[in-house]
């Protein structure tokens, strides 16, 4: 631990967490903008998510009379979990002091904590929509989590470590080639992240029809600052997932330990990668339609199988 606590490590850690917390809504805004363009609508301003957050923070919170403290604590817990998630994913640099606190398996656990809390918060008021959303969210969660772990297992087996920073250093250091195992894992990861971030085709973040909601149904009772925190945490989650995907499958350009000046290069590279990733997400969302809830298990089982195939391919071919 002592060796890890150096100034450049602290600097990159601080820079990364600040970038994530402040920049995550921008990514959401960018995806929304791209989607509007692709759907031939007039696009909302890029900074709209910030204005929404500001507006919500200014409003008072209305809480149901019989809500328990758990309901009010949930937005803060979810936000805290997502902040830590963004801190341990190597988006700018692999020299992160906090990365040793949580490896990739702990990161999956971290997302699970957020999910369980938000589902419990939805249960707390006892409305039909809230509990319905909680049930569906947990359904998606228990299907997506093993698939995500299998994707990560493939990268663990390739790099011989479960620490994301080490994985990135390992993968970035390899020569540029197509690894079939990673190709399978990449497709599986894309499917899982669509489900986990409540995007089309699993969920629709822009829906106004309660009966089809998953994530939105759980947060119907939240308002004011609580809602703002949950929205912000959702942006952070999208940011974290994007960065995990970039770290696993496009790890080039991330600054290594001992080269703090690389950070200046890593920032623009990350922005370009995220912009491309966001545009790709908007494209996927535009090109596909939301599926019925009981098609989701098939979708995620497909992701799981792809990840398993990826792993077996790695074991068979050693590539």
Partner 1 sequence: MNIAPLLPIDWILAIVVLWLLLGAAGVVRPHGFFFVARVLFPASAVVSVLLAVVALVACFDGAQVAVLPLGLPQLPFHLRLDALSAFFLFLLGAASAGVSAFGAGYFRRGEGTPPGLLCLQYHVFLVGMAMVLLADDAYAFMVMWEVMALSSFFLVTANHRVAEIRRAGYLYLLLAHIGALAILLCFGVLQANTGDYTFANLRTQQLSTFWSSTAFLLALGGFGAKAGLLPLHVWLPEAHPAAPSPVSALLSGVMLKTAIYGLLRVTFDLLHVQLWWWGVLALAIGLATALYGVIFSAVQTDMKRLLAYSSIENIGLVLVGIGLAVLFNAYALPALAALALTAALYHCLNHAFFKCLLFLGTGAVLHATSERNLGRLGGLLRRMPWVGWAALVGVLASSGLPPLNGFVSEWLLLQSFLFTLGLPSTFVNMLVPVVAGGVALVAALAGYTMVKFYGVIFLGQPREERLARAHDAGAWERVGLSWLACGCVLLGLLPAQVIVLIDNVTHALVGAGLAATVRANGWLLLAPVSLERASYSPLIFLFVVAASLLLVYAMVRRLYHGRLRRAAPWDCGFPRLTPRMQDTAEGFGQPIRQVFEPFFRMHRELPSASDAMPRYRVVVEDHFWFWIYTPIARLVENVARLIGLLQRGRIATYLLYSFATLLLMLLWVRR
CA 275 vs. chain centroid, Å, equals 15
Interacting span for partner 1 (CB under 8 A) from 40-48, 141-149, 244-252, 261-269 = 141-149
Is position 58 an interface residue for partner 1 (rule: CB under 8 A)?
yes
How many C-beta atoms surround the C-beta of residue 212 within 10 A? 15
Whose Cβ is closer to partner 1: residue 41's or residue 292's? 292
112 is a site residue for partner 1 (CB under 8 A): yes
Question: Among 43, 138, 271, 284, which residue interacts with partner 1 (rule: CB under 8 A)?
Answer: 138
Residues 6 or more apart from 245 whose CB is under 8 A from it?
186, 189, 190, 193, 277
- Under rule CB under 8 A, how many of the chain's residues touch partner 1? 79
Question: Is the Cβ–Cβ distance between 254 and 100 less than 8 Å?
Answer: no
CB of 118 vs partner 1, minimal distance in Å: 10
Contacts of 167 (CB under 8 A, 6+ apart): 104, 155, 156, 158, 159, 161, 247, 248
Query: Which positions from 159 through 198 interact with partner 1, judged by CB under 8 A?
Result: 160-163, 166
Structural contact between residues 75 and 69, judged by C-beta atoms closer than 8 angstroms: no
Choose, by CB under 8 A, the member of 11, 43, 44, 127 that binds partner 1. 127
Residue 26 to residue 47: CA distance in whole angstroms: 6
Half-sphere exposure of 47 (CA within 13 A, CB side): 4
If binding is defined by CB under 8 A, does position 157 make contact with partner 1?
yes
Kindly state whether residue 128 participates in binding partner 1, applying the rule CB under 8 A.
yes
**Contact stretch for partner 1 (CB under 8 A) within 29-37, 74-82, 187-195, 255-263:** 74-82
Q: Is 101 in the site for partner 1 (CB under 8 A)?
A: yes
* Residue 262 is a binding residue for partner 1 (CB under 8 A): no
For partner 1, the binding residues in 206-245 under the rule CB under 8 A are: 210, 220-221, 223-225, 229
């Amino acid at each position: 631990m002592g060796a890890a606590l150096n100034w450049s490590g602290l600097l990159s850690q601080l820079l990364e967490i600040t970038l994530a917390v402040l920049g995550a809504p921008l990514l959401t805004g960018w995806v929304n903008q791209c989607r509007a363009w692709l759907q031939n609508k007039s696009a909302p301003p890029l900074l709209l998510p910030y204005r929404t957050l500001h507006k919500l923070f200014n409003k008072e919170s209305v809480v149901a009379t019989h809500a328990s403290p758990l309901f009010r604590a949930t937005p803060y817990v979810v936000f805290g979990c997502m902040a830590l998630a963004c801190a341990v994913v190597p988006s700018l640099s692999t020299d992160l002091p906090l990365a040793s606190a949580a490896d990739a398996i702990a990161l999956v656990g971290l997302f699970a904590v957020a999910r369980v809390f938000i589902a419990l918060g939805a249960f707390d008021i006892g409305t039909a929509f809230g509990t319905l959303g909680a049930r569906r969210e947990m359904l998606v969660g228990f299907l997506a989590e093993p698939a995500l772990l299998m994707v990560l297992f493939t990268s663990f087996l390739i790099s011989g470590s479960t620490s994301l920073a080490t994985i990135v250093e390992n993968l970035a250091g390899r020569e540029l080639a197509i690894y079939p195992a990673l190709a399978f894992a990449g497709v599986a990861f894309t499917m899982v992240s669509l489900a986990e971030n409540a995007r089309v085709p699993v969920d629709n973040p822009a829906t106004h029809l309660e009966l089809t909601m998953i994530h939105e149904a759980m947060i119907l009772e939240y308002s004011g600052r609580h809602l703002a925190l949950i929205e912000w945490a959702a942006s952070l989650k999208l940011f974290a997932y994007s960065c995990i995907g970039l770290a696993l499958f496009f790890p080039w350009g991330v600054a290594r330990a001992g080269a703090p000046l690389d950070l200046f290069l890593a920032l623009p590279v990350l922005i370009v990668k995220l912009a491309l990733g966001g545009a790709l997400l908007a494209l996927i969302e535009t090109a596909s339609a939301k599926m019925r809830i009981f098609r989701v298990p098939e979708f995620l089982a497909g992701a799981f199988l792809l990840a398993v195939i990826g792993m077996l391919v790695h074991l068979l071919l050693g590539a």
